[in-house]
């Protein structure tokens, strides 16, 4: 039961470097999203997708890009890493975009930008 | 704006009962979720309320009052493994989840 798989688990980047966080789900979910979690703050939505070929911005999209070429994959790209992007990142998915269905999370990616 | 409020931290004793409150102000309402998050791990689903009243699931219960914009999570017979953060989230009119900052629950022997 793979569920939502995201990699890498830990990453250290230098300011200005770029990288991609990978996310894949095997539950045939239409809705996928990326959150960041910072101490003392709730999960904040970066980008989301309601199906292949469709993406939209969340609450904190600046500095991040996404694409959704397949139902399964939803990578998050950091274009030019900044120390403010040091955070824990979670990929998540749920079955129907317009529903109250529960959301399932990947294990998280701990990113440090120095 | 949209807002979810819950206490930052609570302490309780093993074997006791604890209630974690959550109040919300959102643009629309399509249900309220509670998630548990152990340190260094991803959130995991605990409960979902969309109608007023109490939902019971083993040692955990969740209550919702839509008119008051209020929910609570009740944990009974506390165990050490219940030490975690508890996240309240509301699904708004666009079915996007608005998250509270979480309540860190510390269980003492």
* B87 within 8 A of B81, measured Cβ to Cβ: no
Chain B contact set for A108 (CB, 8 A): 40-42
Report CA-CA distances (Å) from B2 to A59, B28, B55, B91, B109: 12, 10, 25, 11, 37
Residue B22: C-alpha distances to residues A15, A66, B14, B93 (Å): 38, 32, 22, 19
pLDDT, position A1: 63
- Across A6-17, average pLDDT: 97
Question: Which residue from A13, A21, A1 is spatially nearest to A90, judged by alpha carbons?
Answer: A21
Residue A101 has pLDDT above 90, yes or no: no
Q: How far is residue A55's CA from residue A82's CA, in Å, rounded to a whole number?
A: 23
SS3 category, B3:
strand
For the sheet containing B18-25, what is the strand order? B3-5, B18-25, B70-75, B60-65, B53-57
The most confident of the ranges A20-24, A93-97, B23-27 is A20-24
Q: How far apart are CA A16 and CA A19, in angstroms?
A: 10
Instruction: Please provide residue A85's backbone torsions phi and psi, each rounded to the nearest 5 degrees.
Output: -90, 5
Query: Which segment of A74-78, A110-114, B74-78, B96-100 scores lowest on mean pLDDT?
Result: B96-100
Q: Which residues in chain A are closer than 8 Å to B44, comparing Cβ atoms?
A: 105
B99:A105 CB<8 A: no
For the cut 90, the answer to whether the pLDDT of residue B51 exceeds it is yes
- Give the distance from residue A81's alpha carbon to the nearest chain B alpha carbon, in angstroms: 23
Contact B62, B55 (CB under 8 A): yes
């Amino acid at each position: 039961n793979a569920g939502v798989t995201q990699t890498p688990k830990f990453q250290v980047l230098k300011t200005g470097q770029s990288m991609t966080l990978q996310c894949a789900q095997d539950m045939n979910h239409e809705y996928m999203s990326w959150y960041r979690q910072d101490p003392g703050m709730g999960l904040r939505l970066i980008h989301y997708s309601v199906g292949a070929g469709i993406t939209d911005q969340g609450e904190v999209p600046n500095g991040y890009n996404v694409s959704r070429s397949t139902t399964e994959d939803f990578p998050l790209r950091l274009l030019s890493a900044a120390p403010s992007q040091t955070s824990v990142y979670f990929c998540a998915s749920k079955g129907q975009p317009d529903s109250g269905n529960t959301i399932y999370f990947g294990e998280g990616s701990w990113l440090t930008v120095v | 704006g949209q807002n979810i409020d819950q206490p930052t931290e609570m302490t309780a004793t093993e074997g006791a009962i604890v209630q974690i409150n959550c109040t919300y102000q959102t643009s629309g309402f399509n249900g309220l979720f509670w998630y548990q998050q152990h340190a260094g791990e991803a959130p995991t689903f605990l409960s979902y309320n969309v109608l007023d009243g109490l939902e019971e699931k083993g040692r955990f219960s969740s209550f919702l009052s839509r008119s008051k914009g209020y929910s609570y999570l009740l944990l009974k017979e506390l165990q050490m493994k219940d030490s975690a953060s508890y996240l309240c989230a509301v699904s708004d009119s666009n079915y996007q989840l608005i998250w509270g900052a979480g309540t860190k629950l510390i269980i003492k022997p």
